[in-house]
């Protein structure tokens, strides 16, 4: 359900970005998420809320997710939903690379091979020299890279703070940062645009709620491959509302990247050494 719902938020964000600055869309996503989720958390889950035990990692995690959100929302304001999401799916590959460098985890030749194959898939999507490379293309890749750092920080926090506390802290941090930035590009939305801003935040919060529920019943490493299901909803929304249908190169790159990511996730689960998390915006 989470991966069926979250692309709806992406579609609303892409539509809004054609009318107002994409930073305003990011602001709406964070601000109204806080407005919706914090009261619910205090009423129903107050016992899970406390001051973070490791504020530095919490801040780092929040900043990386914030960067991931900004980069992704910018990317979809220029290129198709499917292309942006395909490039962002390099995240599990980058996580494997960072796990070896930052966490000193043992990464075997099979997973290194999967990482290399996944990068080849990304190159096929970008097609340097054959396709015009825009800033949005790099933003799509940057989404996956920033999110990979977010996953590494999340692993550090997994045994320290509760997931709900981490979610609330992330939302509050993002809302504060974007509220400082957005006045420089602010154009007052009309009534319909306000409804879209509230709506995309509500849909995003619902998607995160489904994710939290799913993580109560299964390990993140088991659930991670299901994240690729969102490309289905993403492509349907992109085609139906924006007339964007992936070309054959995006399809080929998508198959390669997803296959590599699923293999890495499955391998990590079998080794029971590391966990991956699905992409959250």
List, for residues 74-85, the tens digit of each pLDDT value.
Answer: 999 998 888 888
Alpha helices in the chain (DSSP H): 2-17, 22-44, 55-78, 81-88, 91-101, 109-126, 135-157, 163-181, 191-215, 220-223, 230-242, 248-271
Token readout for 103 is 């966490």
pLDDT digits (tens, 9 = 90+) for 102-154: 767 676 777 778 778 877 887 887 765 455 668 898 999 999 899 888 877 77
The pLDDT of residue 268: 67
**Residue of higher predicted confidence among 178 and 270:** 178
Backbone torsion region of residue 188, taken as left when φ is above 0, otherwise alpha when ψ lies between -120 and 50, otherwise beta: beta
Question: Contact 69/26 with Cβ under 8 angstroms?
Answer: yes
Q: Determine the 3-state secondary structure of 177 from DSSP.
A: helix
pLDDT digits (tens, 9 = 90+) for 36-78: 888 877 776 677 667 667 788 888 888 998 999 999 999 999 9
Other beta carbons within 10 angstroms of residue 210's beta carbon come to 15
- Whole-model pTM? 0.81
Token readout for 1 is 């359900």
The pLDDT of residue 266: 74
CA distance linking residue 95 with residue 115, whole number of Å: 10
pLDDT digits (tens, 9 = 90+) for 12-42: 999 999 999 999 999 999 999 899 888 877 7
CA distance linking residue 270 with residue 221, whole number of Å: 10
């Amino acid at each position: 359900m989470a991966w069926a719902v979250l692309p709806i938020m992406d579609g609303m964000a892409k539509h809004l970005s054609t009318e107002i600055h994409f930073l305003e869309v990011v602001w709406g996503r964070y601000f109204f998420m806080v407005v919706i989720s914090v009261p619910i958390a205090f009423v129903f889950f107050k016992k899970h809320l406390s001051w973070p035990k490791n504020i530095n990692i919490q801040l780092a995690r929040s900043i990386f997710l914030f960067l991931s959100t900004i980069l992704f929302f910018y990317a979809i304001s220029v290129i198709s939903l499917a292309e942006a999401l395909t490039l962002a799916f390099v995240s599990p590959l980058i996580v494997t690379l960072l796990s070896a460098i930052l966490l000193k985890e043992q990464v075997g030749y099979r997973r290194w091979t999967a990482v290399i194959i996944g990068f080849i898939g990304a190159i096929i999507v970008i097609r340097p020299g054959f396709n015009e490379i825009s800033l949005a293309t790099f933003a799509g890749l940057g989404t996956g890279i920033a999110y990979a750092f977010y996953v590494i920080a999340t692993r550090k926090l997994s045994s320290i703070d509760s997931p709900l506390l981490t979610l609330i802290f992330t939302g509050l941090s993002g809302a504060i940062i974007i509220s400082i930035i957005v006045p420089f590009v602010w154009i007052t939305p009309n009534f319909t645009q306000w409804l879209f801003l509230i709506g995309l935040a509500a849909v995003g919060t619902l998607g995160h709620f489904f994710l939290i529920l799913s993580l109560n019943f299964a390990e993140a490493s088991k659930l991670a491959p299901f994240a690729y299901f969102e490309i289905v909803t993403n492509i349907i929304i992109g085609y139906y509302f924006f007339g964007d249908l992936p070309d054959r190169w995006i399809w080929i790159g998508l198959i390669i990247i997803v296959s590599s990511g699923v293999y890495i996730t499955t391998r990590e689960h079998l080794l029971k050494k590391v966990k991956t998390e699905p992409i959250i915006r």
